[in-house]
């Protein structure tokens, strides 16, 4: 499992999108910081993705010039297909594209987490309204929710 310091990243992601129905107050408190945190991470991932795309474009342009110059020094006929194939298969281009792919994957993953947290926020609003209506009719549910909250607080 991936670790960030002492933090288990996968467990943190799971907890960020999980809803504990009997601890709605804690869930309400947690959703805004989680949304802010993952939005910041997504922004950084988007920036890395854009920088990686820029690096691919710059590498391609630099290699186009270098390949054409190298081919001019040979007796080989220069064709667009030959230049393009040489650029595409060049090690620098492969490295730049791999970095772009990794940045795009991270951006996409974080976008999914943000979508899940936004959905969680919307579900919490609906669930809160539902629980409020239930609590108005059954006082034992209030006691049960308080007991769960106290038990969770004692575990922390």
pLDDT band at residue 140, thresholds of 50, 70 and 90? low
The separation between CA 6 and the C-alpha centre of its own chain, rounded to angstroms, equals 20
Q: What is the pTM of this model?
A: 0.71
pLDDT in tens, 14-29: 777 777 767 777 888 8
Task: Identify which has the larger pLDDT, 133 or 30.
Answer: 30
Q: Mean pLDDT over all residues of the chain?
A: 84
Say yes or no to pLDDT of 137 above 70: no
pLDDT in tens, 92-101: 999 999 999 9
Q: How far apart (Å, rounded) are the C-alpha atoms in residues 156 and 139?
A: 27
pLDDT in tens, 111-134: 988 998 898 888 888 877 777 776
Give the CATH class of 22-155.
mainly alpha
pLDDT at position 12:
72
Contact between residue 99 and residue 59 where contact means Cβ atoms under 8 Å apart: no
Domains of the chain by residue range: 22-155
pLDDT in tens, 74-98: 888 889 999 999 999 999 999 999 9
Q: How far apart (Å, rounded) are the C-alpha atoms in residues 156 and 148?
A: 13
Cβ neighbors of 41 (< 8 A, separation 6 or more) are 110
pLDDT at position 156:
59
């Amino acid at each position: 499992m991936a670790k960030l310091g002492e933090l288990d990243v996968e467990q943190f992601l799971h907890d960020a999108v999980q809803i504990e129905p009997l601890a709605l107050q804690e869930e309400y408190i947690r959703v805004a910081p989680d949304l802010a945190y993952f939005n910041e991470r997504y922004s950084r991932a988007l920036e890395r993705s854009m920088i990686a795309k820029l690096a691919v474009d710059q590498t391609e342009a630099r290699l186009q010039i270098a390949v054409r110059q190298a081919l001019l020094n040979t007796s080989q006929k220069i064709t667009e297909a030959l230049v393009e194939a040489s650029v595409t298969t060049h090690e620098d281009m492969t490295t730049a594209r791999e970095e772009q792919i990794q940045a795009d994957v991270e951006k996409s993953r974080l976008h999914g987490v943000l979508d899940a947290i936004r959905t969680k926020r919307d579900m919490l609003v609906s669930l809160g309204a539902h629980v409020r209506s239930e609590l108005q009719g059954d006082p034992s549910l209030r006691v049960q929710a308080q007991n769960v909250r106290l038990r969770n607080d004692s575990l922390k």
